[in-house]
Amino acid sequence: MSDLTRMLQETVTDAVAEKRPLQLIGGGTRSFYGRTPKGDPLQLAGHTGIINYQPKELVITARAGTLLSEIESVLAEQGQVLAFEPPRFGEGSTIGGVIASGLSGPARPFNGSTRDFVLGARVINGQGEILRFGGEVMKNVAGYDLSRLMCGALGTLGLLLDVSLKVMPRAVVERTQVRSCSEAEALALFRELAGKPLPITAACFTDGQLCLRLSGSRPAVLAAAQRVGGEELDQAAAFWVGVRDLQHPSLASDRPLWRISLPATATPIEGIESTGFIDWGGAQRWLSGRRDVTPLRDQAESLGGHATLFRGGDRDSEVFQPLQPTLLDFHQRLKRALDPVGIFNPGRLYPQL
């Protein structure tokens, strides 16, 4: 447990004065994500500690450098979890990296995303000021919601000092049902089941098998398992950790990995069979290998979604789907409002930010 706030503020203040960009680094396990980092490295992994944890209030507040594994084990002692299942890309994954990347695990369509669980944050802005937004309560509409805005911003809007998150009880029982089917059948079944009041908390398709995770009380999960049919999967917890951390063989290769984010109801995307990995009940589809960017993005867009070069490939290119000009303009203005000289992670999200 150590509080580096003062040192971090001084470093930022100096960097602002010298207009010297900083590259914010937590555990470094997400360094593959986003565009090539630039600027002087500033290590945040030493800024650690759980500041407040109130199980009955369903809230935990931790410094950005706190290990995700530490937070999750402290929560587990009280039978609680981070319900958005943040991926752990390595032992060093920090809660700051979880927020900055905004990535959520298999439970995302059913339990909500990383930002859905953010209640508040303390940040150092691009003027070296320490600001607190949101708080530790569930409902709070005072001021603009700048704490949730930090999610997925890849550190380009400020240096996260600490974050308050809503936590949830761990399900009493979890059970995964599998059944063999084609991709088209899987997508149809996802749609059908999503409209029913069933305790589903994960739904993926891989290797010609559809996997559904059910969570809740024992009798509820048993009844739901009978309704959805199929066989019970052994070692299901390990399987879902693999899905969460992208350890599945078709995702863990060295080839470029594309994340296609689509409405769950979108038709199969051309070429998806080569990877055959669909998560989020159809809303997240993975493609691997070299792809022709423009047609891929056009296709994703025509289906109502986006294509991200998630890992590998040319990290100096536009790894995120380019924004419409007016929208990009607002992004630039917002960036300037929080980081007027542009010292935080320049270019990590978009070249213009």
Partner 1 sequence: MIQVLPLNSATEEKNISFSLGELVAGLRELLPDDGVLLEEEDTRPYECDGLSAYRQLPMIVVLPSTVEQVQEVMQLCHKLGVPVVARGSGTGLSGGALPHPQGVVLSLAKLKNILEIDPAARTARVEPGVRNLAVSEAAAQYGLYYAPDPSSQIACTIGGNIAENSGGVHCLKYGLTVHNVLKLKVITQQGDMITIGSDALYSPGYDLLALMIGSEGMLGVVVEVTVNLLPIPETTGVLLAAFDDVEKAGIAVGEIIAAGIIPAGLEMMDGFAIQAAEEFVQAGYPIDAAAILLCEVDGTRQEVEEQIRLVREELLACGATEVRQAEDELQRQLFWKGRKSAFPAVGRLSPDYYCMDGTIPRHRLPEVLKGIAEMADEYGLRVANVFHAGDGNMHPLILYDANKPGELEKTEELGGRILELCVEVGGTITGEHGVGIEKINQMCVQFSPAELAQFRAVKAAFDPDGLLNPGKGVPTPRRCSEYRTLHKGHD
Single residue of 51, 168, 228, 233 touching partner 1 by CB under 8 A? 168
Q: Does 32 bind partner 1 (CB under 8 A)?
A: no
Among 16-24, 69-77, 169-177, 229-237, which window interacts with partner 1 (CB under 8 A)? 169-177
Among 9-17, 23-31, 93-101, 190-198, which window interacts with partner 1 (CB under 8 A)? 190-198
CB of 9 to partner 1, least distance (A): 12
Contact 120, 141 (CB under 8 A): no
Among 6-14, 38-46, 188-196, 230-238, which window interacts with partner 1 (CB under 8 A)? 188-196
Would you state the structure tokens that stand for residue 118, as one six-digit string? 């953010």
Q: Does 144 bind partner 1 (CB under 8 A)?
A: yes
Q: Which residues partner with 185 through β-bridges?
A: none
The 285-324 contact track toward partner 1, x by CB under 8 A, reads -------------------xxx-x-----------xx-xx
Q: Does 16 bind partner 1 (CB under 8 A)?
A: no
Q: Does 350 bind partner 1 (CB under 8 A)?
A: yes
Q: Does 81 bind partner 1 (CB under 8 A)?
A: no
Contact 88, 36 (CB under 8 A): no
Question: What's 289's DSSP letter?
Answer: S
CB of 255 to partner 1, least distance (A): 21
Torsions phi, psi of 169, nearest 5?
-70, 145
Single residue of 19, 77, 139, 234 touching partner 1 by CB under 8 A? 139
Q: Does 247 bind partner 1 (CB under 8 A)?
A: no
Q: Does 153 bind partner 1 (CB under 8 A)?
A: yes
Q: Does 108 bind partner 1 (CB under 8 A)?
A: yes
Q: Does 76 bind partner 1 (CB under 8 A)?
A: no
Q: Does 197 bind partner 1 (CB under 8 A)?
A: yes
Single residue of 50, 51, 58, 293 touching partner 1 by CB under 8 A? 58
Q: Does 175 bind partner 1 (CB under 8 A)?
A: no
Give the dihedral of Cα atoms 106, 307, 94, 158; nearest 10 deg: -130
Tell me how far apart the alpha carbons of residues 123 and 130 are, in angstroms, rounded to a whole number.
6
Closest CA to 321 of 301, 303, 335: 301
The DSSP code sequence of 111-174 is H--GGGGEEEEEEE-TTS-EEEEE-SSS---SS--HHHHTTTSTTSS-EEEEEEEE-EEPPSEE
Sheet with strand 159-166: strands edge to edge? 50-54, 59-63, 159-166, 118-124, 130-134
